[in-house]
């Protein structure tokens, strides 16, 4: 099981944080362009899901899967978006994202008055804690693919 990379978007679509661990294929565009592309796609999927759903969509879009990887999506009611790419064998990635929100984002961004909420996160402490959380997760195996 492997974690590839992580995106955090604010509710206005600003890329707050990006981190990668095992990523072999580069997109070939700048990080900013990639983030815009990613956010645009997520936004489209979200509205697609809520329009096409035959029932009340409740939580809406949860994840998608390709032959090689799975993209997990977790959005808080306040519009924060956590996006995590893992391999297809990874279970409970959503729980991990909720944990990231509760134990890292809340503690080290929201409760840090020096962190602006709608700007890319600069805090070193936050970076360290994210890294720690992911590396101790059972989803994380540092073997290269």
Closer residue to another protein (CB): 89 or 110: 110
Q: Considering the rule CB under 8 A, would residue 136 count as an interface residue with another protein? A: no
Token pair of 76 as six digits: 């808080």
Q: Which of 49, 101, 120, 131 binds another protein (CB under 8 A)?
A: 101
Least Å from the CB of residue 39 to another protein: 5
Closer residue to another protein (CB): 39 or 73: 39
Least Å from the CB of residue 132 to another protein: 9
Q: Considering the rule CB under 8 A, would residue 95 count as an interface residue with another protein? A: no
- Are 29 and 16 in contact, with CB atoms under 8 Å apart? no
For 118, phi and psi rounded to 5 degrees?
Answer: -115, 30
Q: CB 22: neighbour CB atoms within 10 A?
A: 17
Closer residue to another protein (CB): 26 or 111: 111
Segment 39 to 68, residues that bind another protein, using CB under 8 A:
39-40, 43, 58-59
Binding site for another protein (CB under 8 A): 11-13, 36, 39-40, 43, 58-59, 76-80, 98, 101-107, 110-111, 117, 129
């Amino acid at each position: 099981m492997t974690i590839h990379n992580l995106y955090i978007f604010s509710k206005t679509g600003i890329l707050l944080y990006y981190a990668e661990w095992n990523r072999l294929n580069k997109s070939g565009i700048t990080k900013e362009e990639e983030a815009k592309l990613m956010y645009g796609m997520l936004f489209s999927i979200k509205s697609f899901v809520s329009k096409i759903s035959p029932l009340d969509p409740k939580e809406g879009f949860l994840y998608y899967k390709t032959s090689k990887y799975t993209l997990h999506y977790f959005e808080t009611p306040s519009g924060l978006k956590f996006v995590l790419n893992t391999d297809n064998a990874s279970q409970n990635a959503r729980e991990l994202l909720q944990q990231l929100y509760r134990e890292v984002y809340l503690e080290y961004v929201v409760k840090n008055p020096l962190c602006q909420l709608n700007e890319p996160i600069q805090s070193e402490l936050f970076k360290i804690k994210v890294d720690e959380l992911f590396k101790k997760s059972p989803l994380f195996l540092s073997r290269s693919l």
